[in-house]
């Protein structure tokens, strides 16, 4: 099958890649990073939409966050479904926040239970938690400044920016008005 991809962090552009399917599921193409977004505010069905990023390095784990501008939905980046699920479930259980997972275990968690953005814990505790998550994610993917940096994860779903961005509704592009609920462009025979 032929898939639409979101190429490059920060200044995104449309791309395409071929992928295989197995048992009705897309096999992530080599060199892609998955990004999944789930609505979490009770205003829409919590359907997870997954897209494929290129130019985001090789991920040997996952990062989940509810600090995801501007919607602050649950956003999960990763190289495999198992670690993505672990990180997402840790954030859900915490009532919001950030988590990293790698090798089948959660390696760092920062609970942000107030709207998924804020904590009422002491500042030193929140700061240490943030630092732990940042370091853990740095072990999951090698950052490549100036654009592929930890901060890029928080704006990757910012659909008001030019170019394609993964949202809870699919891949959206404000410039073209295009919305793809699924990244599948064509099923090849």
Pairing assessment for the beta strands 2-7 and 48-54 based on DSSP bridges? parallel
Burial (CB < 10 A; 0-12, 13-18, 19+), residue 10, is middle
The three-state DSSP-derived secondary structure of 127-182 is HHHHHHHHHHHHHHCCCECCCECCCHHHHCCCCCCCCCEEECCEEEECCCCEEECC
pLDDT the model gives residue 70: 87
pLDDT the model gives residue 24: 87
Residue 189 has pLDDT above 80, yes or no: no
Tokens of 178: 């295009």
Residue range 57-78: mean pLDDT, rounded:
96
Phi, psi (5° rounding) for residue 65? -155, 150
Q: How far apart are CA 125 and CA 140, in angstroms?
A: 23
Asked if omega into 70 is within 30° of 0 (cis), the reply is yes
Q: What is the pTM of this model?
A: 0.95
Residue range 12-28: mean pLDDT, rounded:
94
Report pLDDT digits (tens) over 114-168: 999 999 999 999 999 999 999 999 999 999 999 999 999 999 999 999 999 999 9
How much is the mean pLDDT over the chain?
95
Report pLDDT digits (tens) over 163-174: 999 999 999 999
Give the confidence band of 34 by pLDDT, cuts at 50, 70, 90.
Answer: very high
Interior/surface letters 149-181, b for 16+ CB within 10 angstroms, e for the rest:
eeebbeebbbbebebbbbbbbbbbbeeeeeebe
Query: What is the layout of strands, in order, in the sheet containing 178-180?
Result: 165-167, 170-173, 178-180
């Amino acid at each position: 099958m032929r898939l639409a991809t979101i190429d490059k962090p920060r200044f995104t552009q449309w791309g395409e890649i071929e992928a295989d399917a197995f048992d009705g599921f897309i096999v992530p193409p080599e060199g892609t990073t998955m990004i999944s977004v789930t609505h979490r505010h009770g205003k829409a069905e919590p359907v997870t939409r997954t897209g494929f990023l290129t130019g985001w390095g090789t991920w040997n784990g996952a990062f989940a966050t509810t600090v995801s501008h501007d919607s602050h939905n649950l956003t999960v980046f990763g190289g495999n479904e198992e670690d993505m699920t672990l990180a997402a479930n840790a954030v859900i259980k915490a009532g919001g926040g950030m988590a990293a997972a790698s090798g089948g275990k959660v390696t760092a968690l920062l609970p942000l239970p107030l709207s998924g953005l804020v904590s009422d814990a002491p500042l030193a505790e929140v700061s240490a938690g943030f630092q732990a998550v940042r370091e853990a994610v740095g072990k999951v993917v090698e950052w490549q400044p100036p654009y592929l940096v930890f901060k890029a994860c928080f704006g990757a779903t910012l659909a008001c920016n030019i170019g394609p961005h993964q949202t809870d509704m699919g891949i959206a592009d404000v410039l073209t008005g295009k919305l793809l609920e699924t990244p599948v462009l064509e099923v090849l025979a």
